[in-house]
């Protein structure tokens, strides 16, 4: 192999090793979402805003037509 090909393969190998190390340390591209403000609520309603979804006592989403 020529030097260019070896160089490209080395860059790819270093990148893969770097990604693996980052993921093993709890990082990665996808991190956990954090909520900063309390007291904000979101409602899922129909287009008229009349019928909204509810959460049951067992933490299940309840939707009625």
Residue-wise pLDDT for 6-63, tens only, equals 999 999 999 998 888 877 776 666 666 676 777 777 778 888 877 888 888 888 887 7
The reported pTM is 0.40
Task: With CA atoms as reference, report the closest residue to 50 among 40, 39, 64.
Answer: 64
Taking the CB of residue 49, how many other CB atoms lie within 10 A of it? Answer: 8
63, β-bridge pairs:
none
Q: Which residue has the tokens 């893969």?
A: 16
């Amino acid at each position: 192999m020529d030097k260019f090909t070896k160089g490209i393969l080395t860059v790819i190998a270093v990148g893969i090793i770097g990604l693996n190390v980052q993921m093993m340390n709890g990082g990665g591209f996808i991190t956990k979402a954090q909520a900063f403000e309390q007291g904000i609520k979101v409602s899922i309603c129909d287009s008229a805003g009349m019928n909204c979804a509810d959460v049951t006592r067992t933490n299940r989403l309840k939707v009625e037509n």
